[in-house]
Amino acid sequence: MLWRSFLATIALFWTLTAAHAEEFVVIHVEPAVPDLVAGAVYGSEGGSPEFVFVPSGVKVALLGEDGTSYIVEGRAAVEASHDGLAGFRVPADQENDEGLLARMFGVAGLSETTAAGRAIPNDKRGQVDEAEPGARLPLFIEFLPKLAEGGTFCLFSDSLFVRRIDSRFLDRIRVEVGGRTLEEDLKPGAIALRFTGLGIGENEKVKLTLATKRDVHEIAVQRLPAGVLEGSNFDRVARLAKHGCTLQALMAAEGADGKAE
């Protein structure tokens, strides 16, 4: 009887431990270091939490399975659990606090970006179909200078979705890729455009030039399978980060893709 009671206690312990297992994915590391890889998952399964070791001068953004985001600045050794990361949590209410994009990339206006990343009003949608893969993780014009410094923007079909935060001004957008030139007008009040027929094959990585009336930027673009976006938001962020889609992984982590679970 005692033996059965002991076994039942052990079984209950493992059941409770498994139920409270926590996982956290590395979204971005700035600057890059060998021992911290974007897309890596740390956890606390089995009652033995892993530790995230962040060297001095390094900043790491993480996302928990529950949608909570964190930024850890080194030098630090942090337990991969909600308790261990509690002091590094990024406030969910960003009205008066900067979020992941602002803190990691220095991109201003995150609350506006997050709002802009949600459903597009019908009168501003144009020909953009939000059901198409990647429509909710668009290329924001305001992010072009940062992307031009390095990094990759990812596509999930043969279409590029371009968005802007400020909808007050007329702009003509030109896209050049693989010898093709595509141009569209972004009229006052409109916030989205769709460029299709880019001629970029799946898993192909190319240089793409995007020009407005004011600026011209060349960025790296990679087309990934649409399946990268399937599953929970945690899984989606992990895949985006692993493939180097850093900007879009941070957007998804902020819930800017409108699909955070």
**Tens-place pLDDT, residues 161-215:** 998 876 666 688 999 999 999 998 887 777 788 999 999 999 999 999 999 888 8
Neighbours of 167 (CB within 10 A): 16
23-30: strand order across its sheet: 41-43, 23-30, 59-64, 69-73
Per-residue pLDDT band at 107 (split at 50, 70, 90) = low
Q: Report the pLDDT value the prediction gives residue 143, as an integer from 0 to 100.
A: 85
Q: What percentage of the chain reaches a pLDDT higher than 90?
A: 49
Boundaries of every domain in the chain: 2-88, 120-229
**Which contiguous run of DSSP H or E holds residue 8?**
helix 2-19
Interatomic CA distance for residues 39 and 29, integer angstroms: 10
CATH of domain 120-229: 2.60.40
26 — pLDDT class (breaks 50, 70, 90): very high
Q: What is the mean pLDDT of residues 139-158?
A: 88
Q: What is the C-alpha to C-alpha distance for residues 51 and 118, in angstroms, rounded to an integer?
A: 34
pLDDT 10s digits, 229-238? 999 999 999 9
